[in-house]
Structure 1
């Protein structure tokens, strides 16, 4: 198949979606498919990523709230690009404007909406959840629900990466919802990458000895990620046990987060680690991953932590919670720093204290799903849909 991904969330400086797209461009051709990503950009360009894989950027405005990203401003340009590509299958990977643009394209190819975002959890529930019930919030944001319901009827699949989001969309009247979990990069993350010397250096960066616990926080510095909550939880837990927190990320909230750290030497904020092999060593060398966002559709970093053999401390809502299953970590009441602190202390107290115990039952088994498995299942669903269309024709 020739699969065209209309990906408004793609940016070379992006986070989880960029990682997902890179994996799709690598794995898709290995499975016999041609992958084309249509993304907004500063210029009209074609970036070849190897046989059967390329990124086509369409000159588009920058998104005003986060200028690393753009948005498709004109249906004419996007529809012309889809006509020129003549895909067998089309994906829209944003529930916002591009979902409507792909739904309204006049082409005959089947199409799917991949839910890379959960806007109500990221914004409306987070902003208003302490005041109103979710049912009340949903009524106030009925225009978004109607947008999803209306356009979902024009898609063959609405793909979610976690069961909770699938349930909420189905209960909200969205059509054709399927759950296809994502995964981690095969062969990249492993408990075998644990490096005691690297762990000691990271703790030293936090002004702490090797006997302290090392927590890792990874992700965009954006308000929906709730990094101030994570910092507050670590500070609370640190009153009972020495803990260092190393954060890897960049984004529009950097200054706000640095102000929240307030010079605490035990909490350090560093730029993202782009070297995947070194990042895998950092991940495996931590004692746990801590995450604050309840609006994750999958939470790639939590999956990578699970594959690295370290426990996760994550909210009990959204995609991140799935990665704590089977004894692989702790969940806490979302948006509650005190509950997060208690979960952190549970994990810190149970952690292995020596290298000889590094494979003890305190460490979760590395059973994370791979991205190869995800794309095999996803593309098989697309092929079955295309076959049904052809048989009907």
Structure 2
């Protein structure tokens, strides 16, 4: 089956979507699919990853609020690329304008919208919920809900990676919602990668010895990730026990995060770790993973940390919340730094942390379910892919 993923959120400079795309390209041939990632970029190029996997870009404008991303600005150019690729199935992976462009191309070709973003949680709820109720916010953003409901009618499936997001979409009247949980790269993330020397090295970077607790955070440095809140909470909790926080990431919020760290020698901001095996070792060598964003549609890094056998301290809303279900005390009230301090202090001492492998869905299973659903849709039916 020839699949084209019209992927407005792809950036070669990283992020969860890039990780997801990389895994999709790697698995395409083995699963009998032909995959083209069609993404916006500075120029038209094609990068082949194998006989059945490639990234093709369309010259497009830069996204003004984050210039490591682009957006599709020319519907005719997008349609011309789809005409040439002639897919059997099309994905769109942005809830903004591009899925309407995709829906306008050959309505008889089956299509799925992948919810790689949750703008209501990332923006509207984050900005306004301290002032008014979520119900009031939803009423004020009725036009956006109308847009989502329109996409639900236009697409054969609206794919969410967590039950949290699926439930909200269904409650909002969005049709054709299907949950297909994501997963982690098989055999990569494991407690067996724990490295005491690496742990000691990271703690030393934070000015601490091995008796301290090592926390790790990772991901795109953007306001919705709430990194300054993590810094604040670790600083406060650090008055009661020795804590080091190693943050791995890059993005437009880096200066804000550095200002929030200030002179705290126990919190360090590092460049992203591009070597996936080393990143897996970093996660396994930490004493806990810390995350601040309640707007995740899945939260790949929380899944990877959970598969690495370490506790995950995550908000109680959004896709990341799924990974604290077995440790309720490590989920904290979203956007509440005081409750985050409580969760951090609920961790056992580092001497008591004994990471062990946990069963986390493999990405192979995610793509097998997703492609199986696509196959059924091309034959005229919708399977429940869970």
For the aligned pair, the TM-score class normalised by the smaller chain equals: over 0.9
**Is 1:371–2:363 an aligned residue pair?**
yes
- Assess, with a 3 A threshold, how the Cα gap between structure 1 residues 328 and 36 changes in structure 2: closer, same or farther: farther
Q: Secondary structure, in 3 states, of the residue corresponding to 1:374?
A: helix
Q: In 1, Cα distance between the equivalents of 2:329 and 2:34?
A: 38
Match of 2:351 in 1: 353
1:258-298 Cα shifts (integer Å, max 9, x gaps) = 00000210000000000011111111000000000000000
The runs of at least 4 aligned residues of structure 1 exceeding 3 Å deviation read none
Displacement of 1:364: 5.8
Alignment coverage as a number of residue pairs: 382
Question: Are positions 1:160 and 2:157 aligned together?
Answer: no
The equivalences for 1:79-90 within 5 A come to 79-90=79-90
Q: Which runs of 5+ in 1 are unaligned?
A: none
State the alpha-carbon separation in 2 of the partners of residues 156 and 252 from structure 1. 35
Report the alpha carbon displacement of residue 107 of structure 1 after superposing the two structures with TM: 4.7
Kept in 2, the 8 Å contact 1:311–1:364? The answer is no
State how far apart, in whole Å, the 1-side matches of 2:335 and 2:3 are: 38
Distance 1:351 1:105 in 2: 57
Residues of 1 paired with 2:159 and 2:184: CA distance? Answer: 18
Q: CA RMSD in A?
A: 1.4
Does the residue aligned with 1:102 lie in a helix, a strand or coil?
helix
3-state DSSP of counterpart to 2:380: helix
- CA deviation digits over 1:200-245, x for unaligned, max 9? 0100110011000000010111000000111111111111110000
Q: Is the 8 A contact 1:92 1:102 kept in 2?
A: yes
2:373 to 378, 381, 393: 381
Tell me whether 1:208 sits opposite 2:205 in the alignment: no
Give 1:329 deviation, angstroms.
Answer: 7.2
Structure 1 counterpart SS, 2:216: strand
Could you tell me the TM-score, scaled by structure 2's length?
Answer: 0.97
Q: Give the Cα–Cα distance (whole angstroms) in 2 for the partners of residues 87 and 299 of structure 1.
A: 29
1:373–1:329 distance in 2 versus 1, CA, 3 Å? farther
- Residue 329 and residue 194 in structure 1: after superposition, are their counterparts in 2 closer, same or farther (change >3 A)? farther
Deviation of 1:365 after TM superposition, in Å, equals: 4.3
Give 1:219-234 correspondences, 5 Å limit: 219-234=219-234
User: How far apart are 1:352 and its partner, in Å?
Assistant: 5.1
- State the distance in 2 between where 1:329 and 1:213 align: 17
1: CA distance, partners of 2:367 / 2:323? 19
Give, in whole Å, the separation in 2 of the partners of 1:72 and 1:351.
Answer: 49
Q: Which residue matches 2:95?
A: 95
Given that 1:316 and 1:333 are in contact with CA atoms closer than 8 Å, whether structure 2 keeps it comes out as yes
Q: Residue 335 of structure 1 aligns to a residue in which SS?
A: coil
Asked if 1 retains the 8 angstrom alpha-carbon contact of 2:216 and 2:246, the reply is yes
> SS of 1:326's equivalent?
coil
**Residue 258 (structure 2) pairs with residue 266 (structure 1):** no
Equivalent residues of 1:117, 1:296 under 8 A apart:
yes
With normalisation by structure 1, the TM-score equals 0.95
CA distance in 2, matches of 1:353, 1:223: 34
Summarize deviations over 1:93-134 as a string: whole Å, max 9, x none: 000111111112125210000000000000000000011111
CA displacement at 1:187 relative to structure 2 = 1.1
Q: What are the within-5 Å matches in structure 2 for residues 71-150 of structure 1?
A: 71-150=71-150
Deviations 1:181-204 (A, max 9, x none): 000111111000000011001001
